[in-house]
Amino acid sequence: MVTEFIILGFGDLKELSPLLFLLFGTIYLATICGNLLLVALVITQQGLRTPMYFFLVNLSCLEICYTSNIVPRMLVDLLRENGVISMVGCIIQLYFFGALGSTECYLLAVMSYDRYLAVCWPLHYPTLMHRALCGGLVIASWLSGFIVAAAFQAAMVSSLNFCGDNEIDHFFCDLKPLQKLSCSDPYLVNLVCMNLTALVTLAPFGLTLVSYWRILSVILHITSETGRQKSFSTCSSHLVVVTLFYGTLILVYAVPLAGQVPAVNKTFSLLYTIVTPMCNPLVYSLKNRDVKEALRKLWI
**pLDDT at 139 (0 to 100):** 95
- Do residues 208 and 129 touch, judged by C-beta distance below 8 A? no
Give the chain's domains with CATH numbers: 4-299 (1.20.1070.10)
**pLDDT at 255 (0 to 100):** 61
pTM of the model: 0.88
Cα 158 from chain centroid (whole Å): 23
CA dist 252 and 37 (Å) reads 30
DSSP assignment of 98-136: HHHHHHHHHHHHHHHHHHHHHHHSTTTHHHHS-HHHHHH
Q: How does DSSP classify residue 83?
A: E
In the sheet with 83-86, reading across from the earlier edge strand, the strands are 83-86, 4-7, 167-168
Q: Strands 83-86 and 4-7: what pairing?
A: antiparallel
Please write down the long-range contacts of 57-62, taking CB distance under 8 Å and 24 or more positions apart. 58/107, 58/138, 58/141, 58/142, 59/104, 59/107, 59/108, 59/111, 59/241, 59/280, 60/35, 60/36, 60/280, 60/281, 61/35, 62/100, 62/103, 62/104, 62/107
- The per-residue pLDDT string of the chain (300 residues; one tens digit each, 9 = 90 and over) reads 777 888 988 877 778 888 999 999 999 999 999 999 889 888 888 778 889 889 989 999 999 999 999 999 999 988 887 788 988 898 889 889 888 988 999 999 999 999 899 888 888 888 999 999 999 999 999 998 888 766 666 666 666 777 778 888 889 988 778 878 877 776 777 777 677 777 778 888 888 889 888 888 888 877 777 777 776 776 777 788 888 888 877 777 666 555 557 777 788 888 888 888 888 877 776 667 777 777 777 665
- Do residues 74 and 172 touch, judged by C-beta distance below 8 A? yes
At position 257, the amino acid (one-letter code) is L
- Do residues 42 and 298 touch, judged by C-beta distance below 8 A? no
- Do residues 81 and 160 touch, judged by C-beta distance below 8 A? no
